[in-house]
Amino acid sequence: MFDAVEKEPDERLHAAPALRVCGAALTVLADGAIWWEAERMLVVADLHLEKGSAFAARGIALPPYDTRTTLRRLDALIARFEPSRLVALGDSFHDLDAEARMGAEDASHLAGLTHRTDWIWIAGNHDPRPSRRFGGTVLEEIRMGPLTFRHEPRPAPSTGEIAGHLHPCAAVRVRGRRLRRRCVASDGTRAILPAFGAYAGGLNVLDVAYENLLPGFGFHAWMMGARTVVPVAAHRLESD
Amino acid sequence: MTAPRPLGFVASEYSLAIWCLRDVGLLAERGALPLGRLFDEDMLGDDLESWLAESNLLKRTFRDCAIISGLIERRYPGQEKTGRQVTFSSDLIYNVLREHEPDHILLRATYDDAASGLLDIARVADMLKRIKGRIVLKRLDRVSPLAVPVLLDIGKESVNGEANEALLHEAADELIEEATRLV
């Protein structure tokens, strides 16, 4: 509609600022993933593949396309970054039967993705033993440099931990308007990633579930914009 | 042309209010936002469709359709959550359906409801044709009587787009921005 939009003063924010966890420079992506440039590694959490069909089996007929959408988004990320490694931080499959319910097309798409990079499935509580059928390596956790990647965050201090599990999101009120977005929650010693899955909901970072993980207000919520990510100080956030 | 970053709008039979992050009157006076362009008939094409698809109006209509069809349940304040009950964001379903099954009956119902009850494109087209070349910019020192009803309704229909992105950036912690830029 507006063909020549002026240069915005906040254009500089479009260069994604790096999140530092124990000295490791991580780029938070608006897609809800983390890119670790030094290791050429992509990190995603809580894909919850086949969540739609899990609900359908219980009589709630959600459209069964969540797996396809999630895989397409992953595919786009892999094409963009060509990572040497991808870590899926657990709860990649919504339940133990997810593998059996997955359509043939989605299954072969997923198998194709895992062959494009060194793919690591971290075991989650929904998927303690992800199937070997799709390729990739299954691990409880993986340590790289100063960082440890696992599914469920441990009580603070849990230095260098990159985890998922809680599906963090954050809400902030600006000039009277409330904005609620998925976010990466981090205090610089650890980070909790948002859910990447198309049907995964969010849990506000001010919920009691985070109290032992990120105590006090010394953390930031890296909130997902449409194209960029914005670090918001915890004291500015609102609960749900 | 400067994007005025609209926050919301409300209309009555004879007036339309749009509130923006930027001062629209000032932009128009300076020629940065030609009002003729703002009310250009060209907008009734693909722009309108893509805007509508992302609008609160349509998402809200979709949620109503999804509730009527039994796909999701309405939540009431104070209502206890039972183990079997699922609360599911209708926006997530809306996005996934649009991507994979744009002809889905719920989406068709949504468009039909929106087209019949909420939007009358033909009338908008008539209006845009009628006012072409007849727009007068007049900044008032008080609220005009005809504008009172819409001003009372301000905040009714919000626009989520560029303005929200700009607002989100306002919440950014500048210290962390600076600190991370130096490394």
Task: Tell me the pLDDT band of B78, cut-offs 50, 70 and 90.
Answer: low
B39-68 pLDDT per residue, tens: 888 878 777 777 888 888 899 899 999 989
CA quadruple A203, A208, A211, A212: dihedral positive or negative? negative
Instruction: Name which of B71, B84, B172 is nearest A232 (Cβ-Cβ).
Output: B172
Contact (CB<8Å) A198/B93: no
Measured between CB atoms, does A5 come within 8 Å of chain B? yes
Q: What is the pLDDT of residue B153?
A: 87
Confidence at residue A9, expressed as pLDDT on a 0 to 100 scale: 44
**CA–CA distance from A217 to each of A153, A159, A225 (Å)?**
18, 17, 22
Stated as kind and residue range, the H or E segment containing B71 is: none
Q: Give the residue from B94, B101, B1 showing the smallest Cα distance to B56.
A: B94
Residue of A nearest to B92 (CA): A199
Q: Are A122 and A89 in contact (CB under 8 A)?
A: yes
ipTM of the complex in this document: 0.84
Residue B36 has pLDDT above 80, yes or no: yes
pLDDT of residue A152: 96
State the DSSP string of A69-136: HHHHHHHHHHHHH--SEEEE-S--BSSTTHHHHS-HHHHHHHHHHHTTTEEEEEP-SS-SS--GGG-S
Give mean pLDDT, residues B165-183: 73
Regarding predicted confidence, which is higher, A167 or B153?
A: A167
Q: How confident is the model at residue B80 (pLDDT cuts 50, 70, 90)?
A: low
Q: What type of residue is B91? A: D
pLDDT 10s digits, A138-167: 999 999 999 999 999 999 899 999 999 999
Average pLDDT score over residue span B84-99: 77
Count of alpha carbons within 13 angstroms of residue A19, beta-carbon side: 31
Query: What's the pLDDT score for residue A181?
Result: 95
Q: Do B171 and A58 make contact, defined as CB atoms within 8 angstroms?
A: no
pLDDT at B12 (0 to 100): 83
Residue A124 CA: distances (Å) to CA of A31, A52, A97, A164, A181: 21, 18, 14, 9, 23
Q: Is the pLDDT of residue B11 over 90?
A: no
- Please compute the mean of the pLDDT values over residues B108-129 and round it to a whole number: 83
CB-based contact, A66 to chain B, within 8 Å: yes
**pLDDT tens track, chain A, 240 positions:** 444 444 444 444 445 568 999 999 999 999 999 999 999 999 999 999 999 999 888 877 888 899 999 999 999 999 999 999 999 999 999 999 999 999 999 999 999 999 999 999 999 999 988 888 899 999 999 999 999 999 999 998 999 999 999 999 999 999 889 999 999 999 999 999 999 999 888 999 999 999 999 999 999 999 999 888 999 999 999 998
Name the residue with higher pLDDT: A20 or B116: A20
DSSP class per residue in A146-159: TEEEESSPPSSP-T
- Residue A43 β-bridge partners: A34, A87
CB-defined contacts A:B, below 8 A: 110
Residue A200: how many other CB atoms lie within 10 Å: 22
Residue B7 with chain A: CB contacts under 8 Å = 177
Q: Which residues pair with A87 in a beta bridge?
A: A43, A120
Q: What is the pLDDT of residue B125?
A: 85
Place of tokens 């962390």: B176
- Determine which helix (DSSP H) or strand (DSSP E) holds A44, and give its type and residue range: strand A41-44
pLDDT given at position A11: 43
Cα A239 from Cα A180, distance rounded (Å): 10
Tell me, what's the pLDDT at B84?
44
Q: Over the Cα atoms of chain B, what is R_g?
A: 20
Residue A236, chain B, CB below 8 Å: the answer is yes
Task: State pLDDT tens for residues A60-82.
Answer: 788 889 999 999 999 999 999 99
